[in-house]
Amino acid sequence: MVARICSEPGVMTNSALHFTPLEMAWRAIEAARIMSSYDELVQLPIRPAAQKIIYKIFKRLHEIEVMRKTVVAGLDMAGN
């Protein structure tokens, strides 16, 4: 099927690039929509108090991992 062309000679229009009123309304509503809780979690900075807690948790996990590796290395040496 061929689209009917109603334009001046040499001027090409493509209706696929034009927005309908319904599309423009949808885009306006979508742009004004309130952020979801996930968007807030991802985009908003973490509070300093929460950063300290997270740091302590990861530090403790690192200490546990170092102790585990030390114990495993000691068991390997004892087995040799």
pLDDT in tens, 47-64: 788 888 889 999 999 999
In a domain, 10, yes or no: no
Collect contacts of 66-71 with beta carbons under 8 A, ≥24 apart: none
Structurally, the chain folds into a number of domains equal to 1
Q: What's the pLDDT at 11?
A: 59
Residue 1 lies in a domain: no
2, part of any domain: no
73 found inside a domain: yes
Domain assignment present for 5: no
Report yes or no on 62 lying in a domain. yes
Please report where in the chains the tokens 């090409």 appear, as a residue. 12
Quick check: is 49 in a domain?
Answer: yes
Q: Which domain holds residue 24?
A: 19-79
How does pLDDT run along the chain (80 residues), one tens digit per residue?
Answer: 555 656 666 655 565 656 677 888 888 888 777 766 677 667 767 778 888 888 999 999 999 999 988 888 877 766 65
Does residue 24 fall inside a structural domain?
yes
